[in-house]
Chains A and B, each alone.
Chain A
Amino acid sequence: EPEVTQTPSHQVTQMGQEVILRCVPISNHLYFYWYRQILGQKVEFLVSFYNNEISEKSEIFDDQFSVERPDGSNFTLKIRSTKLEDSAMYFCASSLTGTGSAEAFFGQGTRLTVV
């Protein structure tokens, strides 16, 4: 069964450092997403990406965040200067279509710990 894969599974970084979280979406999917989940809280939408550009983003996704699809398979989330409050599980997701009843498949997540 096709799946979304994320690396690394756990990333520890010092405050102020840049991190890049990596995702390989399902190969024939066209829409890509990043969500995050702070421990014990809701899953929150960060950004959606289609046709090599951001299509929607939330208030959380400020100038410290950026996304990129550097090649035909990877989808990355970069946090330029991490803050303690960026500590969370980050989930990548992909879907075949964007709007409508499009089932989004989620990866296993990357646990980011900022110290």
Chain B
Amino acid sequence: GESVGLHLPTLSVQEGDNSIINCAYSNSASDYFIWYKQESGKGPQFIIDIRSNMDKRQGQRVTVLLNKTVKHLSLQIAATQPGDSAVYFCAVKLLSARQLTFGSGTQLTVLP
């Protein structure tokens, strides 16, 4: 099976600083990795994904890094804004599977 865990349940950052949220997974056969953002009362919202044949992918203000050697995934948010305050989940999937396995979530709080 697969287990996915986040390193910190909560993270507070000053507005304008960079945020780093980390995630560890257990199954080395995992092929696809996704970060979701969940705001209060809403469903998970896709942020960025990465395939196992890559180690870095950039989006708008977000970067995902994948280290397959230590089975570690991170999400970097540049110039964190108040609207970034939410719970962030990593999720992993086998390429051949349909289900996502989610981590436990990190509550990001952006301080003014």
Contacts and interface: CB of A to CB of B under 8 A. Distances in A.
Interface size bracket, A side:
20 to 34
A18 interface: no
Contact of A106 (B45, B98, B104): B45
Given A108-B42, A108-B43, A101 B98 contact: no
Contacts of B44: 43, 91, 106
Interface in A79-96: 91, 93
Contacts of A106: 36, 43-45
B32 A100 contact: yes
Contacts of A58: 99
B97 A104 contact: no
B106 to A, nearest CB: 12
Interface in B80-112: 89, 91, 95-105
Contacts of A55: 98
Interface string A40-82: 0111110010100001101000000000000000000000000
A45 B105 contact: no
Nearest to A41: B104
Given A48-B98, A56-B98, A98-B98, A42 B105 contact: yes
A19 B106 CA distance: 31
A48 B97 CA distance: 10
Interface string B2-29: 0010000000000000000000000000
B87 to A, nearest CB: 10
Interface string A2-36: 00100000000000000000000000000101010
A43 B102 contact: yes
Interface of A: 4, 31, 33, 35, 41-45, 48, 50, 55-56, 58, 91, 93, 98-109
